[in-house]
Structure 1
Amino acid sequence: MSVGYVMLVHTALDRATQVARHWAQSGCPVVIHADAKVPDAEFIPFRDSLKDLQNVIFAERRQRCEWGTWGIVGATIDAAAQMLEAYPDLGHVYLASGSCLPLRPVPELVAYLAERPRTDFIESVTIEDVRWSKGGFDHERFALRFPFSFKRKRFLFDHFVEFQRKLGVKRHLPEGLVPHLGSQWWCLSRRTLDAILNDPRRAEYDRFFRNVWIPDESYFQSLARLHSQRIESRSLTLSKFDHQGKPHTFYDDHLQLLRRSDCFVARKIWPRAERLYSSFLSNDPSVTKNAEPSPGKIDRLFAKASETRLQGRPGLYMQSRFPAQERDNARSAGPYSVFEGFDHLFENFESWLGKVTGCRVHGHLYSPGRVEFAAGEKVFNGGLSDSASLRDYNPCGFLTNLVWNTRGERQCLMFGPQDNQHPEGFMASDPNAQISVITGAWAIGLYRTNITSEVVRKEAARLQRIEQAHVEVLRSRWAKARIRIWNLAEFIEAPMDNLQEILDEISLHGPRRLTEVPRLADLSGFGRFLQQLKNDGMNLHMAGDFPAGHAPAPLNPQARPYLVR
């Protein structure tokens, strides 16, 4: 007989019964300590359900095991002492909880420990080397006293700590003791555990650790250093913690992950994980690996999970995880393109763009009247409505929902000074955004109204102020989108080259020379229109220097050769 199990149980007693029975029927003795908080109405049936097993005994004294207090250590000491007395031929004692689950056949663990009879498996690290605490105490956990419960008497706990800090209280460590920290779940050799429990100075050590913060993470970890011949500073139990120091819970969909770890035991298992319990509570020799426990194999996945927990997934906004706006990955879920002024300069630009690029091309998603989804749809992916009032409740959220719900398909949208300008900062700071702007192109729409009046001049002045402020946002130092800006006069000097540059970046088919061009709007007389606005006292400078008699020639895709490198 080489290993016995000490189980600390406080909840999910039906699962603890299954695991204890599995270990006992595999030839390993089990001592169970049930938390004093477990009512007799639950404890007595639990105890009676294991009466048929001669190698399962219950701790004679039940202690109240409250997180962060001495009770957990006291219960462990009592159960371990009872184990050593009842089974003098044990080689190792394995500490587990009621939520632990064996991952490998018991005979495999027995053989593993038999090959290492004098080795103690306990995580034990000095506080100078590793910061285990998560927003808690480091040296102070040993220097101060913690007589009050952190959870039940938080007011007294906090104020007593602050009181000791003001007084400069500093407890003295027992002579020769170097504090160490580590996981509560260990597997100690009989020799080391017996030496700890029968140490002549144990009463002194117990008095000291009774007022230590979370003593179950330091009592055995520190005393093992005084008595062990060989310590492997690691646990044979797989236990993972999040950034707040709370243990991860394993569910049914973690089955393959747990198998990859090669650890002998895992905690903390969800009580309703039926698939895990049915899969692992077996001594089937066909699953024997004889591999060294290696929780590091899955550390990368847990690190990624912690990062996702802290930062969220790019572009995913939800009630349970609303990412901070200042983080780059908290903008959108994928690349998208914004075109400003193109639908004024070119006829049927949306249809042409969709045909050439293979992307989904929308109209003005932020127009005042309604959301102009592609193909005139009233409801889009994810249940997005074309209602402007619903969109304007959270304009940035509307865009991120649109991109999230169409992942894998690039979205293109039109934008301009007539639209709701609220999301401009969001788009400018989004690395996924590609924004192409032809300033002053909105004036073509005013020109087509054939109205030369005070109303047009005031509207032109209003739109120019909006666009000028918008361009300042796009040119700010914190803008991270891929941004191109031309004024109208600059763009029409080489429209094909400018279009080619944009489309090479977004086309699903890769860079290729344009063979089909959009139809340029008729700009005959547009220069005179701009001049008339100037004559009326309004200088439309955002359009650039557009001569009064200028009329651009139709586009010709063969006009200039285009080289793809």
Structure 2
Amino acid sequence: MSLGVVMLVHKGFDRAAQMVRHWTDAGCPVVIHVDSNVVGPCYDQFVANLAAVDLVRFSKRHRCEWGTWGLVAATQSAATLLLEEFPEVSHVYLASGACLPLRPVQELQAYLENRPDTDFIESATAADVPWTVGGLDRERFTLRFPFAWKRHRKLFDWCVKLQQRIGYARAIPEGLIPHMGSQWWCLTRQTLEAILNDPKRPIYDAYFKGVWIPDESYFQSLVRLHARKVESRSLTLSKFDYQGKPHIFFDDHKELLERSHCFVVRKVWHDARRLYDSFPKPAHTIPNIEEPNTTTVDRIFSHAFERRTLGRPGLYNQSRFPSDDRENGIAAIPYAALQGFDDVFADFQGWLSRRTGAEVHGHLFARDRVHFAGDGKIYRGGLSDHPRLRDYNAKMFLTNLIWNARDVHHCFQFGPHDSQDIRWTLAKDTNASIWVISGAWSVPLFLSGRSASDVRAEAARLQRIEHKFLKTLRAPHAHARIKILTLADFIEAPMDTLQEIVDEIAGHKADALTRPPQMPDLTGLADFLQDLRNQGMHAFLTGEIAKADARPAKTRSPKPYVVAKK
């Protein structure tokens, strides 16, 4: 059994020559295709560098451009020459100049010798794979693509949209089922000769010349017509990012590549000296027959893919920052925004801090300044209390504050007096818990001692702002944990809501509340709200407060409950 190699090269000629010698030193003939875009002096020097190697041939050159037929034509020409020049070859391995053998080539030869009738090529029907990037899966086989995607992107997109609009569709040759997969394969001589000598090859070639990225579908489809046994996997380890671009392996991937036990890896950075010095491993007296195992590699790359596309909650980088809502959670950890509680309770901020041990801020988005916990001017991470710095990007201010002190649970006060730029951020953040006592702004107005006619305009303004915030919280896109109570409902049973808040923030450390924080005497609040109505300002967000309800909360008494009889 003999293994032959078809190598596609377009740059990195020094490394490509080094790889050629790895293959030929193990007795593998190599046929090289060099992209016709490569200028004459570079090509001539590359040929001269390998002139002394007997097992090397150079095939007819084609112009190779990503996504076009040239890559298939180059592979066809090189494979045809390899089969003609080296009749002893039983398997043909397709590689590139950036491919690096990891294990001794002799182990790959022994592996293939034990599987003489098996073709290793990733081959899956277009309808069954979600790999395609750009929205063209089945359509890449039914539309025409006369323009190169990289050089003429606008013309490419225009041509696709035009064909989609008029309903154009090419006929797929009879008996052919389009398959897709990795470009890098290893085929038996019998299968490759059957593909290259197929009587219907002119029909297939004419069809695939109009397919987008045919190097990922030509051999993958035709092998299904001629192979005796197909293993739908590549013997070359290659990874792709979320944009469909090949991942480049560097020196710090050495240990990972060793654990993979793969025969060949693509694509290796040309200056990864540690990798090129370490691989391929020297041949052992007893060949290693261990199967390639990419489980660890797949898991690490899957985590890297998620980290690259989703990121970490609350941490933003330049690749995700410009795109709204691409974040994996807006804030880093759960936090609470409390509206109206400090209007009802004079020392609510201090009371909540003592009860829960949380970092309880004042009004972070107050218009005069940022009221940090402890009332400092600078917070962790160098965040200033200056309102203009905060309002330059309120969302980033909040996420930075929580990220910089993610070792504590944050709570802050919010209300209609504050800057409202943050309201959609709060509503959409799954890490946010929002507690609202609607209409609580009426309590400070009532306690101010001013008449209803004097505060009418201010009450109307605050109600408009709060009503807009409540509409945001009730929108379909609001994903925060939200609880809204009217002032009337809260005054009726304040202990229940306060206990829920304490339980959520303190968790298992929370104690049962026996007494709420000090509530002012609200006797006369109902009359005050009625006076506002008489002035033409209906405070509908407060709820219906009866005169008997507007009084300080008393010590909590146990709720009655019913025990069912057995």
- TM-score (structure 1 length as normaliser): 0.82
- The residue that corresponds to 1:187 in the other structure is 186
Does residue 520 of structure 1 match 2:518? yes
The 8 Å contact of residues 357 and 503 in structure 1, kept in 2 or not, is answered as yes
Identity %, equivalent residues: 52
Work out whether residues 7 and 96 of structure 1, in 8 Å CA contact, stay in contact via their aligned partners in 2. Answer: yes
Give the conservation status (yes or no) of the 8 Å contact 1:362–1:411: yes
Q: What secondary structure does 1:191 align onto? A: helix
Once the two structures are superposed, the pairs formed by residues 442-481 of structure 1 within 5 Å of their partners are 442-447=441-446, 449-452=448-451, 454-476=453-475, 479-481=478-480
Tell me how far apart the structure 1 counterparts of residues 138 and 485 of structure 2 sit (CA, whole Å).
61
Residues 168 and 126 (structure 1 numbering): CA distance in 2 closer, same or farther, change over 3 Å? same
Q: What is the CA-CA distance between 1:418 and the residue it aligns to? A: 0.9
Partner Cα distance (2:505, 2:168) in 1: 65
For the residue of structure 1 that corresponds to 2:465, the secondary structure is helix
- Report the aligned-residue RMSD: 4.0
Distance change in 2, residues 1:132/1:548 (3 Å): closer
* 1:230-241 equivalent positions in 2, closer than 5 A: 230-241=229-240
C-alpha separation between the residues in 1 aligned to 2:560 and 2:266?
63
Does 2:6 align with 1:2?
no
| Aligned-partner Cα distance in 2 for 1:489–1:161 | 61
CA contact (8 A) 2:142 2:170 kept: yes
SS at match of 1:507: helix
How much has 1:194 moved relative to structure 2?
3.5
1:426 is the counterpart of 2:417: no
Q: Against the structure 1 CA distance between its residues 344 and 146, is the aligned structure 2 distance closer, same or farther, given a 3 Å change threshold? A: closer
2:356 is matched with 357
| Counterpart position of 1:42 | 42
For 1:160 and 1:251, how far apart are their aligned partners in 2? 38
Counterparts of 1:386-425 in structure 2 under 5 Å?
A: 386-425=385-424
Deviation of 1:142 (Å): 5.2
Residues 151-550 of structure 1: pairs in structure 2 closer than 5 A: 151-153=150-152, 170=170, 173=173, 178-199=177-198, 202=201, 205-242=204-241, 244-252=243-251, 254-255=253-254, 257-259=256-258, 261-283=260-282, 285=284, 290-295=289-294, 298-299=297-298, 302=301, 313-322=312-321, 329-447=328-446, 449-452=448-451, 454-476=453-475, 479-507=478-506, 509-514=508-513, 519-521=517-519, 523-524=520-521, 526-528=522-524, 531-532=527-528, 534-535=530-531, 537=535, 542=542, 545=545, 547=547
1:224 maps to a residue whose letter is: V
Q: 1:146 to 1:444 in 2, by over 3 A?
A: closer
Distance 1:359 1:49, change over 3 A: farther
Where do 5+ consecutive residues of structure 1 fail to align?
A: none
User: Contact 2:339–2:435 at 8 Å: present in 1 too?
Assistant: yes
Return the letter of the residue paired with 1:527.
T
Structure-1 residue corresponding to 2:564: none
Q: Could you tell me whether the CA contact under 8 Å between 1:19 and 1:281 is conserved in 2?
A: no
| Equivalences, count | 556
Residue 458 of structure 1 deviates from its aligned partner by 3.2
The SS at the match of 1:426 is helix
Q: Give per-residue Cα distances to partners, 1:115-160, cap 9 Å, x unaligned.
A: 1122111223444555765446556655665555443455666677
Query: CA 1:176–1:322 in 2, change beyond 3 Å: closer, same or farther?
Result: same
280-289 or 430-439: which moved more? 280-289
CA contact (8 A) 2:240 2:247 kept: yes
Q: Flag structure 2 segments of 5+ consecutive residues without an equivalent.
A: 562-566
Deviates more, 1:370-379 or 1:264-273: 264-273
Query: Post-superposition shift, 1:185?
Result: 0.8
The whole-number CA distance in structure 1 between the counterparts of 2:67 and 2:467 is 60
The CA deviation at 1:310 is 5.4
Asked if 1:70 corresponds to 2:69, the answer is yes
The alpha-carbon deviation at position 4 of structure 1 amounts to: 2.7
1:477 deviates by 5.5
Deviation at 1:360, TM superposition (A): 1.8
Q: CA deviation at 1:94?
A: 0.8
Quick check: 1:69–1:213 contact (8 Å CA) kept in 2?
A: yes
- Farther off after superposition, 123-132 or 429-438: 123-132
Separation in structure 2 between the aligned mates of residue 147 and residue 321 of structure 1, nearest angstrom: 34
Q: Secondary structure at the match of 1:63?
A: coil
Per-residue deviation at 1:299?
Answer: 4.5
Distance change in 2, residues 1:289/1:412 (3 Å): farther
Label 1:462 to 1:164 Cα distance change in 2 as closer, same or farther (>3 A): closer
Query: What does residue 19 of structure 1 align with?
Result: 19
Deviations 1:369-392 (A, max 9, x none): 111122233343444332212322
Alpha-carbon distance in 2 for matches of 1:359, 1:132: 46
Q: 1:145 to 1:499 in 2, by over 3 A?
A: closer
Judging changes above 3 Å, is the alpha-carbon distance between structure 1 residues 321 and 367 closer, same or farther for their aligned structure 2 residues? same
Q: Distance in 2 between matches of 1:187 and 1:170?
A: 30
Distance in 2 (alpha carbons) for counterparts of 1:246 and 1:161? 21
SS at match of 1:94: strand
Check 1:440–1:197 CA distance in 2 against 1; reply closer, same or farther (3 A cut): closer
- Aligned mates of 2:468, 2:156 — CA distance in 1: 54
Alpha-carbon distance in 2 for matches of 1:332, 1:282: 47
The separation in 2 between residues aligned to 1:385 and 1:287, in whole angstroms, is 67
User: Cα 1:2–1:355, aligned 2, differ >3 Å: closer, same or farther?
Assistant: farther
- Residue 524 of structure 2 aligns to a residue in which SS? helix
Higher mean displacement: 72-81 or 533-542:
533-542
Partner amino acid, structure 2, of 1:214: I
Worse overlay, 352-361 or 205-214:
205-214
* In 2, Cα distance between equivalents of 1:394 and 1:550: 40
Distance 1:130 1:99 in 2: 27
Letter of the structure 2 residue corresponding to residue 520 of structure 1: Q
1:10 deviates by 1.2
Whichever residue aligns with residue 423 of structure 2, its letter is: E
Shift of 1:439: 3.4
SS at structure 1 position matched to 2:434: strand
Per the alignment, residue 102 of structure 1 pairs with: 101
Q: Deviations over 1:455-512 (max 9, x none)?
A: 4443234323433443444345654322233344543454444322211111155443
| TM-superposition CA deviations, 1:139-197 (whole Å, max 9, x none) | 66556655554434556666777888869674673x76554433211101233334444
Letter in 2 for 1:11: K
**In structure 2, do the counterparts of structure 1 residues 422 and 544 end up closer, same or farther at CA, with 3 Å as the change threshold?**
farther
Whichever residue aligns with residue 552 of structure 2, its letter is P
> Relative to structure 2, which stretch is displaced further, 89-98 or 284-293?
284-293
Distance 1:191 1:486, change over 3 A: closer
